[in-house]
Structures are given as C-alpha cells and as structure tokens.
C-alpha cells in the first residue's frame, strides 16, 4: 500500500511540477508581471521540497527556482518584496476520502486534483477497515471555488463512497508573515526599565531613566524599518570594555571554531572591538547577507512562545540595554553583552541558524506543553550547548550563556580546581533535554555535548518531526512567510 501511495503521489507531483514550470516559464518574457508569477511559483515550489520528484538542482533549499530568476529580494512594482505587508492567508479545504486497496486506485483519484489545478499541501493515509484506507487531503481553495467544486464533483462521480469536508483545527495564535512579529515584539514580561530590588541598578535613577529611553526605541520599531543607532555613553562603553577584556582570552581558549571564525569576521565588518559597542543595525545587515538571519530590538524579556516564534522567521529578539556599570562582570538578565558577544556571532553560521529556525518553526501553533519542551531544548543548546572540536576532539562551547560568562565557560569547558563540583556532561539528546529542568541563577549541573553543530541540527530536526504538531511549517524566503501544510484557525492574538 505504501509503495502504491508513494509512486502515485510522486507521479502526480512530478506531472504537476512540470505543468507548473511550463505554465510559468511562458510568463517570464512578459515584462514586470513575470516577477509576480515567478514569486507565486517559488511559494508553490517550497511545497515540493523533500519529495522524490526532485531529480536535479532546479529546486533549491530556500524554495526558489533557478536562483538567478528568483533573487532573495524580488521587486514587485519597483518595490522590494520585504517592504510589503503580510500576504493574505490562502484558504484551504480538508477532505477525508475512503478508498479501496486496489493497485492504481490512488493514482486514479489524484489525477482529478492535477486536472483541475488543485494544489495539494498534505496527504496522509491510515487503515480504515478490511480492504479500505482513509486518506486525509488538504488542498488550497475553498468550497465554492470552481476548481475545488470540480474536484469534489469528479470524486463523487468516480465512486468515492465516503467523502467528507473536515472542520479547521483551532490552534494558538502564531505569526504567518514576518510583519506580524510587530504584534508580539512589545509583549514583554517586563518593561525594560522595571528592575527587581536586587538588581545592581535598582537604586540608580539615571540608569533607570536610560533603560526607559532605550525601551522606547525598541517599542517604536517596525519590522521593515532600519534598526535605530544608539549613542552609547562613556560609562556604558567602559562597562563593555571590562567585559570584552575579561572574555576575549577565555573565548580564544574555550569557544568553538565556528564562533571564533564568525567573531573575526564581525571584527572586520561590524566594528567589534574593546573600545566600541557595535550597533545592532550593522550586525543585522551583516547576518542577513551571510545567513538571512536578522536582529530585532526588543524592550525586555518575551514569553517562550513569542521568542521562539521569532526564530521561525530567522529573527532574533535582542535587548539594547547594558548591565549596570557597578558590576560589569555580573548581570541578572540578558543584556547587549550577552546578546552581542554570546549570541550574535553564532548566527553567522548557517548550521546554527538552521538549527535555531527548526526550534522556531516547531513552536508555531504548538501547545503550551510542547512550547515548554522546545524551550528546554533551546536552553540546553542555544544557551548552554557544548560541542566537540573536530580537530582535536576537545569540548568547546557554542551556547551564548557560556560564551558571555567567564566563570561558567571555564566551569563547563576548563580544568577544574580541587573542591569544585564537576558538571555532568551527556551526549546531545533533544528527547532527554526536553524533559530536563534547569536552574537560572546558578551554574548548570548538566550540559549536553553534540558531536558538531551539524549533529545538533540533525538531531533537533528529528525531534521536531516527532512532536505532536498541529501542522508542518516551512519558511519561504522570498515572501518571508510561514507556509503550513494544512488548514487551521488561529485563536485571537489577545490570548498570546
């Protein structure tokens, strides 16, 4: 049965792909409108990714067709595509069909979808009863659309006995386009200037006023605007210098090679040095040119759901304030030393970016339970992950919580002095990490060690595929949209 399903579906998708290519290739010579048409096809080609119909390099990993014809920034009506607002969500229809287990049965049914240009986004099967199988099919369009109605009419005429139109599953709100990050970026758990009583800057009114000024800059930022530059004070620069001077020799000794390579590049291109705090705008532009990742200023901490949702769009929510100058080597919260020294260089590595985005895509529409599991995976990898050095098999750090903390970096990777409790190190296992609790105010008693960043990414992808997800999401680089493979109804955003 599975062989028949695979062969029939592959044949149909190959026919559909060739049909679409011929149809859109004709339009390429029609002036500016060709770009609109090609952009539409790029979105469709994303859905074909991973199928055995891909027999050559025509379909690239970002969903584009023939890279020179689908540049990263398409131009529509002389306007960059990433300056446009979110596209309207496509309507979807979910069907349940019962078919007999007969050779050619599935092929005979699927040909109606191809004939009437009904784009299938998902198909699953499961045994129903003796000699019968249920097929769940999602397609673009709604009942009332001519092509959808023709498909339904032909399926009934063909003799499909059980043919049901299913209701849409309701899920927690999630962004569908990068512009919708504007709707969650300001939902901070604290307001940037709100400090706990034990914060070193709690009794410093000037510091609190500075935090409030920086928070307002972040709160007014929009997704398609340049990140505003910040004129840092001498006090803030001195604080940065103290952290840089303490961390630089430690990073040379204990950071993974991917981090060190990226840091060298950022010294050249982003003004990373001990005497200047780099600007998020310069870092974001550099990362976009290398890995299509970007920084997004934020006033304070976000919920796990909102923060992880940003990663799905290759966006890292980044604070703009710095720790109090009285304690330059201590901070009770993430600040720009943590963000820019710990996180930012790793986003210049494509494997690490893909790894982070896997977690983000899995978070879209996920249940609260699954969000908690993904947040633990993020903590034990992106924040406190270790990996082996491929050259000498030494243990190195790639997690930002380690790369921005001189004490814990040496604790996790260095030679321990007598009397210091040895941390436990286990092989990287997302299934284990997702169930592991962790402290936030002390050194970690447990770290996870990946063989490489590639190994970490592959295992995380396998874990995400096994999650109980309401849909499977992919990111379309051209439209900056999350494509989902089945129709769902988003709950009201006020519940987020």
Instruction: Considering the candidates 180, 339, 383, 408, report the single residue annotated as catalytic.
Output: 383
Reduce the DSSP state of residue 104 to 3 states and report it.
coil
Q: Are 362 and 434 in contact (CB under 8 A)?
A: no
Q: Is 107 a catalytic residue?
A: no
Instruction: Considering the candidates 404, 405, 408, 434, report the single residue annotated as catalytic.
Output: 404
Full strand arrangement of the beta sheet holding 386-388: 395-397, 386-388, 446-450, 424-427
Cα–Cα distance between 363 and 114 in angstroms, integer?
32
Exposed/middle/buried for residue 122 (C-beta within 10 Å: 0-12, 13-18, 19+): middle
Cα–Cα distance between 63 and 49 in angstroms, integer?
7
Strands 424-427 and 163-166: unpaired
Instruction: Considering the candidates 338, 339, 370, 408, report the single residue annotated as catalytic.
Output: 338
Cα–Cα distance between 329 and 194 in angstroms, integer?
21
Cα–Cα distance between 460 and 465 in angstroms, integer?
9
Reduce the DSSP state of residue 406 to 3 states and report it.
helix
Q: Is 177 a catalytic residue?
A: no
Tokens 């710095």 locate to 322
Cα–Cα distance between 102 and 41 in angstroms, integer?
34
Instruction: Considering the candidates 179, 343, 356, 434, report the single residue annotated as catalytic.
Output: 343
Reduce the DSSP state of residue 310 to 3 states and report it.
helix
- Give strand pairing partners of 481: 177, 476
Own/partner long-range contacts of 279-288 (Cβ < 8 Å, ≥24 apart): 279/227, 279/229, 279/230, 280/227, 280/230, 280/318, 280/320, 280/340, 281/226, 281/227, 281/228, 281/229, 283/340, 283/344, 284/227, 286/348, 287/344, 287/347, 287/348
What are the distances in angstroms from CA 363 to CA 186, 292, 297, 366, 444?
A: 19, 20, 21, 5, 24
Our separate counts of H helices and E strands in the chain read 16, 16
- Give strand pairing partners of 193: none
Q: Is 24 a catalytic residue?
A: no
Burial readout 346-379 (b: 16 or more C-beta within 10 A, e: otherwise): bbbbebbbbbbbbbbbbbbbbeeebbebbbbbbb
Q: Are 406 and 438 in contact (CB under 8 A)?
A: no
Q: Is 338 a catalytic residue?
A: yes
What is the set of active-site residues?
Answer: 338, 343, 383, 404
């Amino acid at each position: 049965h599975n062989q028949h399903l695979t062969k029939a579906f592959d044949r149909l998708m190959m026919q559909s792909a060739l049909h679409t290519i011929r149809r859109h290739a004709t339009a390429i010579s029609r002036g500016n409108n060709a770009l609109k048409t090609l952009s539409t096809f790029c979105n469709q080609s994303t859905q074909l990714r991973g199928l055995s119909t891909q027999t050559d390099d025509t379909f690239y990993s970002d969903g584009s067709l023939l890279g020179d014809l689908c540049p990263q920034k398409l131009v529509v009506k002389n306007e960059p595509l990433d300056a446009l607002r979110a596209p309207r969500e496509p309507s979807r229809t979910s069907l349940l069909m019962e078919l007999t287990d007969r050779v050619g049965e599935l092929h005979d049914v699927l040909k109606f979808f191809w004939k009437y240009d009904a784009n299938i986004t998902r198909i699953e099967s499961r045994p129903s009863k003796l000699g019968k199988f249920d097929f769940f099919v999602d397609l673009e369009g709604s009942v009332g659309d001519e092509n959808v109605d023709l498909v339904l009419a032909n399926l009934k005429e063909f003799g499909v006995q059980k043919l049901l139109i299913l209701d849409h599953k309701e899920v927690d709100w999630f962004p569908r386009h990068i512009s919708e990050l504007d709707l969650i970026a300001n939902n901070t758990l604290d307001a940037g200037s709100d400090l706990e009583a034990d914060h070193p800057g709690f009794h410093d009114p000037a510091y609190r006023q500075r935090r409030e000024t920086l928070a307002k800059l972040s709160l007014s930022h929009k997704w398609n605007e340049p990140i505003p530059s910040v004129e840092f004070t001498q006090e803030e620069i001195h604080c940065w210098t103290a952290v840089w001077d303490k961390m630089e020799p430690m990073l040379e000794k204990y950071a993974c090679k991917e981090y060190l390579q990226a840091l060298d590049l950022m010294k050249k291109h982003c003004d990373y040095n001990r005497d200047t705090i780099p600007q998020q705008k310069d870092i974001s532009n550099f990362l976009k040119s290398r890995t299509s990742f970007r920084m997004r200023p934020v006033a304070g901490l976000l919920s796990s759901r909102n923060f992880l949702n940003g990663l799905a769009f290759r966006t890292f929510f980044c604070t703009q304030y710095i720790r109090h100058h009285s304690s330059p080597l201590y901070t009770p919260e993430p600040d720009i030393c943590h963000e820019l020294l710990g996180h930012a260089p790793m986003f210049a590595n494509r494997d690490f970016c893909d790894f982070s985005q896997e977690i983000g895509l899995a978070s879209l529409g996920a249940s609260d339970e699954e969000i908690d599991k993904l947040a633990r995976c993020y903590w034990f990898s992106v924040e406190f992950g270790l990996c082996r050095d491929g050259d000498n098999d030494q243990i190195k750090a790639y997690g930002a919580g380690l790369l921005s903390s001189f004490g814990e970096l040496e604790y996790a990777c260095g030679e321990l002095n007598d009397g210091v409790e040895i941390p436990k190190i286990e092989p990287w296992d997302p299934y284990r990490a997702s169930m592991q609790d962790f402290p936030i105010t002390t050194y970690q008693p447990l770290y996870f060690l990946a063989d490489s960043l590639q190994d970490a990414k592959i295992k995380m992808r396998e874990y995400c595929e096994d999650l109980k997800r309401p849909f499977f999401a992919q990111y379309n680089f051209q439209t900056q949209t999350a494509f989902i493979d089945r129709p769902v109804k988003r709950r009201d955003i006020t519940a987020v």
